[in-house]
Amino acid sequence: DAPGATVVHTIQEALAAAGDVQEIVIGGGGMLYEALLPQANRLYLTLVDGTFPGDTFFPAYDPAQWQETFRQTHEADERHAYRFSWLILARQNPPNG
């Protein structure tokens, strides 16, 4: 427990604890992304130009359901070994609720 933190054990408890807020940000992991993607209205993505080993990935989504509203690309440089982009995608027809 951390001061000011609310401990929950299910997604439903987490959403109820958040209350009536304008935006809830999910910081992973893969199972949470997959469970909550159908309810998402906006995606904040970082795309890295590279291929990396891993066992957890962001779930597949239909790009036709989303519109890119922001993109900022950073080339590889002395601080960043790989080119990457920050994107914001807005769902075309947001789910109710």
Write down the pLDDT at residue 97.
54
Write down the pLDDT at residue 90.
98
Q: Tokens representing 13?
A: 């408890």
CATH number of 11-91: 3.40.430.10
The residues spanned by each domain of the chain are: 11-91
What tens digit of pLDDT does each residue of 58-69 get?
Answer: 999 999 999 999
pTM: 0.85
CA 96 to chain centre: 19
Residue 84 contacts residue 47 (beta carbons within 8 Å): yes
Would you say residue 46 has pLDDT above 90? yes
Residue by residue, DSSP assigns 6-62 as: ---SSHHHHHHHH-S-S-------HHHHHHHGGG-SEEEEEEESS----S--PPP--
